[in-house]
Structure 1
């Protein structure tokens, strides 16, 4: 009678005809996995060396390859990128839209799947009933040896991420798909044993009487539940519930596998347990160092003798909460995030938030949109205790709340190494892109007016970037005030650069697309110009009133009334896509093919100003007198613009690439639709321009920051 996997030692036995032993097949699998990780590590080392080489290059085009080796590497990289970035259009079925991952990660997952299936069935005849036991044994051995990879891809303190310079958030996608491959392998393992037992009507007997079969079936059931609940629509229902049940089911799965597996393969269970312990110990140790005041006496200014950090919560328009932590106990890079916990407001929950500030600000700052669960409770607390809205309880907000942070996490290639950078954000995705923009501008400033401790000027290049294109898509003008301080910082740094170096040649262009507007206001007075020596720098101003409502509905914070100035001339109006908002205002979601030849979106909704277009304002910007934003400048090929509608990424990126003297970077953070559009645009333009294929067109690096879960 056939027996299950643990009834006799099989690992060292060959199945004849030159077939490797089960242990050898497991080693083969890890030889393939190790080779892939090693290749990623080599690419990481080359990219880091390339970045350092560009910053040491004293030529006018440091981001352009000059040696034969770097030319070959750039050509190979461009070819791989065209394939790996490619993705198909989303599929819409009724109210549901399905977005597909790019081809590169899909090919990696398929390579892993093919490797597993080849090792499972190599030289085995599945049509031969006498081979079914052998298939059952082998698939069991191949299934269990995949466990360490799943846990290597899951931890925040990630070894693969360190070697390959990949964020744990990016690796988590591979973690889910490797787990699904494991589920398929385990299903085949169970299926062939059931198929063998079915010849003797023995399945029911085994499930009721054989402890090993019971444990194996229990492990499969738990794994099936884990796989199903990890699907995006299900885990998105409640992230907190998903995390909790994921931890519980993981423990149950490991226990069931341990009891089912024979002693000769339990090493594959011990390794994942060790990885989990390592991840937790490393996280708790770093968390203790970061959050305990005893390690940071000099920086602890909150008066708390135990905990390092305290935070203030401020409500902003659009149901956004600004969280500020002064004098944090660690440093970080632009684009990174931390896990944030405040037990006094949201007990026993930890949420990842992008850091919207730079280390030079000497504060951690987060902008958190109120959705469900903990983020909404943060906003309610901030609104209740605001010094205007909450009146009597303002002292609580001023004093701050004790908070805990874990991190920072997240990694990407430094944008300072690229000749041209395009940053695109949708809504709160600007929390990721604005710090990246500020980081490059700060490097420009430091190169020009920065000093070493001895007082001499710096001579080392800090950024190879010559131009930046920043695009931000928002629903309402009120969202502009969220990043008021950041926009101030950018313009102040650029102003200092121009004052110190009148022939400053760096380019920065900013476009803000507004898709819906609840309140439209007429243009204000023309913008003044700055006096010398900052000649040529024109500042547009946005009138921002600080009107606060004494009473608010539910969780809405004070609304900042914003009006933007228009140019003395505007293009002739042309009716394009528009829609009415309840109570007045309108939406314009038509894609603007070219900002230089744009038509206004006429708003005819009830309640809006008669004959007043939903403004498309060329050569203008938005902020108040204290927060000027760069406008017209002789050294800039494009200038900030406020438009109604949605951007057309392909045209925006193409114009930047046409001026690039070296490799460019495109970064996008926002809804899936925007990310897909940008990804397809980069692939199309790379192919259209024949990058590194004899045309002289330079490479395009793309980074897509996932938005949401």
Structure 2
């Protein structure tokens, strides 16, 4: 039999390696397979280069915008040649491929990336390998083996916390996690093709058990496939969120076993790809360990030298749903909107949790304090809330030791936009508050002339940690020439909104989801007060003031106000009012969960289409902040 003749020798000698596989098969396209394996990384490198260049151009454009604005140029004239060259193809594409507004809620960009990557890998596997002859199954199996081994490093690179890909693209590790999971699924699919076509051939020739007994690399390969299958299943959202701590432990064990089995399975001539993956995994372990050690170990050199670990933190329970934490003298700086991973020896069995930092670094103080607002769910967040309430009943200050890792996260340069709109639900205010505070605390506002912020909370007390910080800097708005309006919508109370409006479904307890209900309660204004003493509280005056804020030029009057409402706000109306018809670049940022994201995406897509149709000047940029860990 031809199959028996081809598999007559099962060693791992040099002669077999020259043929392209440890099964002794003399591959007809071994040179082509090597070329395709290299092509895989050449294409990925080219994509990264294009992404990096695009990021550098965006940084350059942002700096030029701010520089021209500081020099006194208006928003509708301060458009550089580089901006025009970049915006022209974008406008052309948007006109040619004009999608329905409802498509804004769909993950179109992610879908395009996943489909393109999957098609690329499928093309590498099938290129000049589909010939229906006696070697058809074996040829596909060998090609899939090459391409699968070549892919091994990519899922590991995408999972690295100190991420070189994120550094090149200007993003952070948690925003690459979705592609890490999809790259792993494509990796599993190509591994299934590799093993499936071999198994089909062996079973058809009644050679399956003979192959397993005589070729040592087969059993480790089968073991690697089962581990891959388990990894793909266990990373589905349902299983990942069932018990996150257990997921993390089993995922690490699975990855280690996978690498061991791959080293035993892959022939010597292709082990380089596997050792690269092992190197990336080792790099991740070292960097993940080095950051918390560097952050949390402090050596005090004095008459009595001492070594301290962790930080002192005080926690207070606002109520059973919200906890605030202040971590003293962390000794590092961060950017507004970044997050840290927190772990406490008091609750040693809990894994580190990500929380967005509410405050901005103190530019004058030598030691920094980190403030967090934590939504109570399960696990660590529930433990912290229970601890804070117990210590509060005893009259203690709720102090404990905590360890931090980070900061992590990449955020835009908000100063390049004339109009900034910030929308947050529940503890999503942890993201928007430092952005607003930083814009009003900076020495120069850059291009920013108008800021509108919306906070949606269940209870009034839940907004206090944010309003306390915002109130400190609102007085600077007028002297900086910025119109600021802050609206707080309290959804619990008045009987118009269900108690279940806000709920956290994310692993990150500092970024919540807003669950929309079919019925919509009225928005009733409770109070509105102006920081400027000349503002009137009469309803007619308020309506006129709101109209003036909508229609005024950015360089006109500057009103800084906080508005409190009861009931669910009309988010689409808020965005439309905040954006208005004034020319200039607009940034809309949202942090609050699926339902509120859909409303914001629909509103922004509709306004972008209207602005393009009417020939408006400036673009509308949408930033969605959420945890994808």
Q: Trace 1:67-86 onto structure 2 (pairs within 5 A).
A: 67-77=80-90
Match of 2:601 in 1: 679
Match of 2:554 in 1: none
CA distance in 1, matches of 2:287, 2:100: 37
Q: Trace 1:408-557 onto structure 2 (pairs within 5 A).
A: 408-443=407-442, 446-447=443-444, 462-481=445-464, 483=465, 486-498=466-478, 501=479, 505-517=481-493
Match of 2:538 in 1: none
Match of 1:39 in 2: 50
1:153 match: secondary structure: helix
From 390, 394, 403, the equivalent of 1:390 is 394
Q: Return the offset for 1:707.
A: 4.5
Q: Does 1:225 align with 2:212?
A: no
2:359 match: secondary structure: coil
Q: Return the offset for 1:79.
A: 6.2
Match of 2:526 in 1: 617
Does the 8 A contact of 2:350 with 2:379 survive in 1?
Answer: no
Q: Does 1:381 align with 2:290?
A: no
Quick check: 7-16 or 341-350, which moved more? 7-16
Match of 1:145 in 2: 150
Inter-CA distance 129–173: structure 2 relative to 1 (3 Å threshold): same
Does the 8 A contact of 1:321 with 1:378 survive in 2?
Answer: yes
Match of 2:507 in 1: none
1:616 match: secondary structure: strand
1:54 match: secondary structure: helix
From 122, 127, 138, the equivalent of 2:127 is 122
Structure 1 unaligned regions, length at least 5: 91-98, 448-461, 521-576, 582-586, 593-599, 602-613, 623-630
1:334 match: secondary structure: coil
When the two chains are superposed, the root-mean-square deviation of aligned CA atoms in Å is 3.4
Inter-CA distance 653–615: structure 2 relative to 1 (3 Å threshold): closer
Q: Return the offset for 1:101.
A: 5.6
Q: Trace 1:20-59 onto structure 2 (pairs within 5 A).
A: 21-57=32-68, 58-59=71-72
From 204, 208, 226, the equivalent of 1:203 is 208
CA distance in 1, matches of 2:612, 2:159: 37
Does the 8 A contact of 2:118 with 2:186 survive in 1?
Answer: yes
Match of 1:111 in 2: 116
1:266 match: secondary structure: helix
Match of 1:562 in 2: none
From 293, 296, 314, the equivalent of 2:298 is 293
CA distance in 1, matches of 2:582, 2:261: 57
CA distance in 1, matches of 2:98, 2:560: 28
CA distance in 1, matches of 2:429, 2:451: 15
CA distance in 1, matches of 2:283, 2:32: 31
Q: Does 1:700 align with 2:620?
A: yes
- TM-score (normalizing by structure 1): 0.74
1:128 match: secondary structure: coil
Match of 1:652 in 2: 574
CA distance in 2, matches of 1:5, 1:676: 57
Match of 1:335 in 2: 337
Q: Return the offset for 1:86.
A: 7.7
Quick check: 175-184 or 127-136, which moved more? 127-136
Quick check: 151-160 or 100-109, which moved more? 100-109
Q: Return the offset for 1:201.
A: 2.4
- Encode CA deviations 1:44-98: one digit per residue, 9 max, x unaligned: 11111122212211134358652222112133446678999989979xxxxxxxx
Match of 1:530 in 2: none
CA distance in 2, matches of 1:22, 1:135: 11
Match of 1:543 in 2: none
CA distance in 2, matches of 1:163, 1:83: 30
Does the 8 A contact of 2:10 with 2:214 survive in 1?
Answer: no
CA distance in 1, matches of 2:231, 2:11: 24
Inter-CA distance 139–225: structure 2 relative to 1 (3 Å threshold): same
CA distance in 2, matches of 1:79, 1:655: 28
Q: Does 1:269 align with 2:274?
A: yes
2:618 match: secondary structure: coil
Match of 1:625 in 2: none
CA distance in 2, matches of 1:686, 1:138: 46
- Encode CA deviations 1:472-506: one digit per residue, 9 max, x unaligned: 2222333223x2xx4233233222454xx4xx631
Inter-CA distance 144–588: structure 2 relative to 1 (3 Å threshold): closer
Quick check: 220-229 or 373-382, which moved more? 373-382
Does the 8 A contact of 1:469 with 1:510 survive in 2?
Answer: yes
- Encode CA deviations 1:261-281: one digit per residue, 9 max, x unaligned: 001111111112111222222
CA distance in 2, matches of 1:81, 1:20: 42
- Encode CA deviations 1:338-369: one digit per residue, 9 max, x unaligned: 11111123445211111111102831011111
Q: Return the offset for 1:205.
A: 4.0
Q: Trace 1:244-393 onto structure 2 (pairs within 5 A).
A: 244-294=249-299, 305-307=307-309, 309-347=311-349, 349-360=351-362, 362-386=368-392, 389-391=393-395
CA distance in 1, matches of 2:441, 2:612: 33
Higher share of residues assigned helix? 2
Q: Return the offset for 1:588.
A: 10
Inter-CA distance 83–220: structure 2 relative to 1 (3 Å threshold): farther
Q: Return the offset for 1:647.
A: 3.7
- Encode CA deviations 1:310-338: one digit per residue, 9 max, x unaligned: 11111112422211112211100000011
Q: Return the offset for 1:215.
A: 0.9
2:456 match: secondary structure: strand
Aligned residues: 574
Q: Trace 1:632-671 onto structure 2 (pairs within 5 A).
A: 635=557, 640-671=562-593
1:306 match: secondary structure: strand
Does the 8 A contact of 1:650 with 1:685 survive in 2?
Answer: no
